[in-house]
Amino acid sequence: MSVGIFDSGLGGLTVWDAVARRLPELAVAYYGDNAHAPYGVRSADDIYALTRRAVHNMWDGGCDLVVLACNTASAAALRRLQEAGVPPGRRVLGVFVPLIEALSERDWGDNSPPREVAVSQVALFATPATVASRAFQRELAFRAIGVDVEAQACGGLVDAIEEGDMILADALVQSHVDALRRKMPDPQAAILGCTHYPLVADAFRAALGDNVTVFSQADIVAESLADYLARRPEMARGGTGRMLTTGDPARVSARATQFLRRPVTFEAA
């Protein structure tokens, strides 16, 4: 059956697009919970309930494997979903682990004990809910030692991107980078811990400077997924690439078309 990409809004389209380019023969469905976006300012229980409903809808709709292309959902809901029990033949994955594997220079799926890595000062830019969860730091501790992570909650940035106000988005990026540098003046690497943020990656790079390596998720997640499916081909058989939204399909289609700079058509979930 098809692989499903889930996000609270449009940000996951960056992952969907990267996966479609990396695996052009794969049927990739997309489910945006636009009616309830953004998730980043919601409580952990609320995020879990919304994510659980969306994931179960995707499983029921024929997606054997669902990727939470939403860092907030990955932080607040993934572990609870897995602990609650996943139906036989179904899987749900997050987007933190591939990013951490790339940062710590591990092979995909390498679960060996934590070890020292080249980078010791890392800036994390994410939504308030993701920052509050400390999920990134927890997952990083399983794989690397001696890494200091300074997190910056980027309030307002997702809203600006969703509304297509890139002038405001660029200004917010500069403001959040300035705030981060007051806490960590010289980060070696920066994690763009929201799938919306690749759309302003150039603004982050300009604000951070050439000495900071910026890790953005879309291509990393696509490469990790390609490796996962090569090892589990049964998770990628057949299916259709539907584009679903809980919001207004016409409005979401227009935003998505602007987002990706090519026609994208959504239907009601």
Check whether the bond before 38 is cis (ω within 30° of 0): yes
Q: How far apart are CA 152 and CA 177, in angstroms?
A: 8
Phi, psi of 190 (to 5 degrees): -130, 135
C-alpha dihedral sign at 101, 107, 109, 113: negative
194 catalytic, yes or no? yes
The two tokens of residue 232 are 């589990």
Q: Which of 3, 29, 47, 70 is catalytic?
A: 70
| The 2-7 sheet, strands edge to edge | 91-93, 63-68, 2-7, 28-32, 243-245, 267-268
70 catalytic, yes or no? yes
Phi, psi of 34 (to 5 degrees): -65, -25
The two tokens of residue 269 are 């979930």
User: Which residue type, as a one-letter code, is found at position 195?
Assistant: T
Unique residue bearing structure tokens 């309930």: 49
Unique residue bearing structure tokens 């010791």: 120
CB atoms within 10 A of CB 262: 9
Burial of residue 66 (CB within 10 Å: 0-12, 13-18, 19+) is: buried
Q: Distances in Å between the alpha carbon of 44 and those of 29, 123, 128, 169?
A: 26, 23, 11, 25
Q: Which of 147, 194, 203, 256 is catalytic?
A: 194
- Nearest residue to 98 (alpha-carbon basis) of 229, 228, 234, 233: 228
The catalytic site residues sit at: 70, 194
